[in-house]
Structure 1
Amino acid sequence: MKSLALIVTAIGRLNGLVGKTFSWLAFAAVVVCFTVVVQRYVFSTTQLWMQDLYVWLNGAMFMAVAGYALLTDSHVRVDIFYRPAPLRKKAVLDMVGVIVFLLPFCAVVWLWGFEYVQRSWMLKEGSANPGGMPGLFILKAFILAFVVLVGLQGIAMLARSILVLAGREHLLPAQFRYGQG
């Protein structure tokens, strides 16, 4: 059981670090978008690569922080049944959700996304916009990062649920227990 607690903790710390780091891309996207607007409407000029940049920053940020959103319980959920549920029922609902929905979803995205990302890397794909940014292949790699981070967090949720159902939630650090996200 202690190994399950270590798994939950390690994955939680990884997603916490990635989430807090990549959340700063939201600020960067706002700054770049503001700059594009000022260039266009004040100076009557624009840089196409900058228009690509703020969209790409936004996409990278959302893909990278998805595991963090799952960790902190900031994702979309139908709370009609979950929020008022007792701890053990939440654990069962999480187990079912992870096994039936989350991990199969991750597998499908990985299977379909891997070749897509691989092809983009082989071509060193860039923006379709003339004068746009090179390196679209890097952004597309975030699809696989998304799958890994969300899948790992799903595994952590599964391990946490097992600990709760076994009456061993006390083995987890406080920040990784139910209701602490």
Structure 2
Amino acid sequence: MGMLLNISSMIDALTRYVGRAIIWLILAATLISAANAVARKAFSVGSNAFLEIQWYLFAAVFMLGAGHAFLQNAHVRIDVLANKLSKRTRMYIDIGGILFFLLPMCYLISSFAWPVLMAAYTSGEVSSNAGGLIRWPLYALVPAGFALLALQGVSEVIKRAAFLSGAGPDPTLHETDAHDPLDTGHAHSAQPASGEVNK
């Protein structure tokens, strides 16, 4: 289990690195949007490329940030049901959901997206809009994003299995990273709620 936990830690580190890097894409998209608006209004100058790069940057944040949201336990849960289950039961449900739904979904979507990406790269597909951008970098975000999400899924399975075997802490309760700009407040205190320990 120790080796698996080391692998999980490496995956988590990669996920945090990607999460912290892509936040700058939001700033870039904001600056490009502002510059484009000023250029259009003040100088009557504009380009479809400026509009499309904003879409690309938004897509990059959305796709590449999914794994980070999973790491931070920020994904949506049906709390009205989950809160009625014991901690161990929730862990088993999480493991089953990751193994039988999340990982196969990531594989299927990536396998369908890959031929589209390669065709666009080979043909040099460009946006149909005048002055538009090449398309393959946008298509590449799909397999890249789902690969990162699948990796984080593997890490979460390891951490939950470690918790169930008594070899690791509760992965859904962790210290808030004060240096993490993407922490949305979903991270909980490292101390479990009263009565959670023995469930």
TM range (shorter): 0.7 to 0.9
Q: Scaled by the length of structure 1, what TM-score is found?
A: 0.88
- Report the alpha carbon displacement of residue 179 of structure 1 after superposing the two structures with TM: 1.6
Q: Does 102-111 or 70-79 show the bigger shift?
A: 70-79
Q: Which runs of 5+ in 1 are unaligned?
A: 171-175
Residues in 2 aligned to 1:72 and 1:112: alpha-carbon distance in whole angstroms: 28
Distance in 1 separating the partners of 2:108 and 2:133:
29
Q: CA deviation at 1:100?
A: 2.4
The question of whether the paired residues in 2 share the 8 Å contact of 1:18 and 1:64 is answered with yes
The whole-number CA distance in structure 1 between the counterparts of 2:56 and 2:149 is 20
Q: Identify if the C-alpha distance between structure 1 residues 98 and 119 changes in structure 2 by more than 3 Å, giving closer, same or farther.
A: same
Correspondence for 2:159: 160
Higher RCO (CA < 8 A, seq sep 6+): 1
Residue aligning to 2:143:
144
User: Structure 2 length as normaliser, TM-score?
Assistant: 0.81
* Aligned CA distance change for structure 1 residues 39 and 159 (closer, same or farther; 3 Å): same
- The more displaced of 77-86 and 87-96 is 77-86
Runs of 4+ in 1 over 4 A off after TM superposition: 83-86
Deviations 1:122-151 (A, max 9, x none): 1122222111123x2112111111111000
SS at match of 2:74: coil
Shift of 1:15: 0.6
Q: Kindly report which structure 2 residues correspond to 1:1-181, keeping only aligned pairs within 5 A, or say none.
A: 1-82=1-82, 85-134=85-134, 136-170=135-169, 177-180=171-174, 181=187
Tell me: CA distance 1:39–1:162, structure 2 relative to 1, closer, same or farther (3 Å): same
Q: State how many pairs are aligned.
A: 175
Higher helix share: 1
Identity of aligned residues (%): 28
* Superposition deviation, residue 41 in structure 1: 2.7
Alignment-mate amino acid for residue 78 of structure 2? V
Partner amino acid, structure 2, of 1:89: T
Change (3 A) 1:130 1:107: same
Contact 2:48–2:129, Cα closer than 8 Å, also in 1: yes
- Residues 95-121 of structure 1: per-residue CA shift (max 9 Å, x gap): 021022211211210121111111111
Closer/same/farther in 2, CA of residues 77 and 124 from structure 1, 3 Å limit: farther
Give distance in 2, aligned partners of 1:28 and 1:83. Answer: 40
Aligned counterpart, 1:173 = none
Structure 1 range deviating more: 76-85 or 33-42: 76-85
Give the C-alpha shift of residue 93 in structure 1: 2.1
Which stretch of the first structure deviates more once superposed, 34-43 or 122-131? 34-43
CA distance in 1, matches of 2:74, 2:126: 33
